[in-house]
Chain A
């Protein structure tokens, strides 16, 4: 009797990534250099500014008042120059340290992803549009210093960039080899959603700029009866993400679309999410995408985006810290995105102002359920974004 194709075990595309002994060691070193820059040197820079530079300028009556003035006061100081240089190099090395192993694995990865896209053993799907125009704000430069970012294709049915951003991302966040457990965006926001809206049971979820869907999967686990969709302009990340979701046993419908204008019907989704997305697109595109969200969100639905805290939410020094990435991490929209008030953006897109929100929610893995309950009762605050909390904004149609 022929085996039912649905019974064939689904291999894990990530297991095809097999770095050599020395490549693994290199990834470990790069991960630690990055940690040294983003934790140790970042702290040293802040102390240097607060204890030496700011008081000196204040005495001279020239205290820097905003992000740009702080940057100007620091950019000739050794603490800034070495922090920046080491952080920049570590970022590049994250991707460089995984590329050779991705190249070796590529033929096998492509074969597996192609097979899963035909069989869809878990019940997801992959819908690509080779005619989609990739917007210039994605192609003009390599975001995050990742050559080829999420969209470049080097061969037929390519998944390379899916693997490069995934494994490079693991080096970046210190999971490979492991240094710490990563923050959990989707887990934390879906946990908050369930506490905030206990009766909310979405039928369809949409994740914008989903890349490989890694931040969508936790929402699928939180709402297992919902039909999950992830869209992105990059084909390689969608192919790769589809292979992962099928392996994980989570049916996800990936499609290659620009979030500014999708082919879904009006009111098709009751939960629309995104993670680390809007600051990578132009402000003009942000406004169009939020209008599209308003068109796609059904009555009774919730839209919640995890993003960087906007300028007015944090101190001038923190603005300087976040905005560093604008010129130094190839994220040209970072500063102009953060200058917008997200609640205002929701209102301009047609959402009701009194149903729009922005807040920090705690990272559930590090915060714990007991403290989370206190947070929900308003007894304690969430940690700030980047320090154990996640900044979110959005709107409801409840």
Chain B
């Protein structure tokens, strides 16, 4: 049996995947788009951490980025940014 240190959990879900678009490639493209949207948010948050560390300490290291713990006010600011960001990125056309 696999040792606990070697476990790699499955990333694929068992069960039929629904298609919401006529062309299933669009369903696949939506996954790409949402993963990419997420990664831009991750990158932005990392930059935000760097800026905050520079503001408070004047220097930055990878270890400091890893150790950074946002306080509730920063968390709230970041949540508001994510919300506004998604509202921009996921802007829907008016129904025809």
Contact = CB atoms under 8 A, between A and B. Distances in A.
Interface of A: 20-22, 25-26, 28-30, 32-33, 35-36, 40-41, 44, 48, 52, 75, 77-82, 84-86, 88-90, 92-93, 96, 99, 102-103, 106-107, 110, 140-142, 145-148, 152, 154-158, 160, 164, 177-179, 327-328, 330
B13 interface: yes
Contacts, number: 144
Interface in B60-96: 65-66, 68, 70, 75, 78-79, 82-83, 86-87, 90, 92-93, 95
Nearest to B90: A36
A147 B87 CA distance: 29
B53 to A, nearest CB: 11
15 contacts: A25-B42, A26-B38, A26-B42, A29-B42, A36-B83, A41-B90, A82-B92, A85-B21, A93-B34, A107-B4, A110-B4, A147-B13, A152-B10, A154-B2, A154-B9
A103 B38 contact: no
A28 B5 CA distance: 27
Contacts of B7: 103, 106, 154-155, 158, 160
Contacts of B4: 106-107, 110, 155-158
A21 B20 contact: no
Nearest to A97: B38
Contacts of B41: 25-26, 28-29, 32
A178 B35 CA distance: 21
Which residue, of B31, B34, B49, B86, has the highest number of chain A Cβ atoms within 10 A?
B34
A367 B7 CA distance: 44
Contact of B66 (A21, A28, A30, A81): A21
Interface string B16-44: 10101100000100110011011101100
Contacts of B31: 89
A88 B20 contact: yes
Interface residues of B, number: 47
B45 interface: yes
Contacts of A156: 1, 4
- The 9 tightest CB contacts between A and B, nearest first, are A141-B15, A25-B45, A29-B41, A32-B82, A147-B10, A107-B4, A25-B42, A29-B38, A330-B15
Contacts of A78: 92-93, 95
Contacts of A29: 37-38, 41-42, 82
A52 B95 CA distance: 9
B57 interface: no
Given A29-B42, A106-B5, A145 B13 contact: yes
Contacts of A145: 13, 15
Nearest to A332: B15
Contacts of B37: 29, 33
B25 to A, nearest CB: 12
Nearest to A147: B10
B42 to A, nearest CB: 4
A164 B9 CA distance: 10
B95 A147 contact: no
B66 A90 contact: no
B30 A89 contact: yes
A154 B1 CA distance: 8
A81 B92 CA distance: 12
B23 to A, nearest CB: 11
Contact of B3 (A41, A86, A93, A155): A155
Contacts of B20: 75, 80-82, 84-85, 88
Given A81-B21, A147-B13, 9 more contacts: A26-B39, A32-B83, A41-B90, A48-B95, A75-B20, A78-B93, A147-B10, A155-B1, A177-B70
Which residue, of B14, B46, B49, has the highest number of chain A Cβ atoms within 10 A?
B14
Given A86-B34, A93-B38, A99-B9, A22 B46 contact: yes
Nearest to A48: B95
Contacts of A30: 38
A179 B5 CA distance: 32
Which residue, of B18, B31, B65, has the highest number of chain A Cβ atoms within 10 A?
B18
A75 to B, nearest CB: 8
Nearest to A96: B11
A57 to B, nearest CB: 14
A22 B31 CA distance: 19
Contacts of B66: 20-21
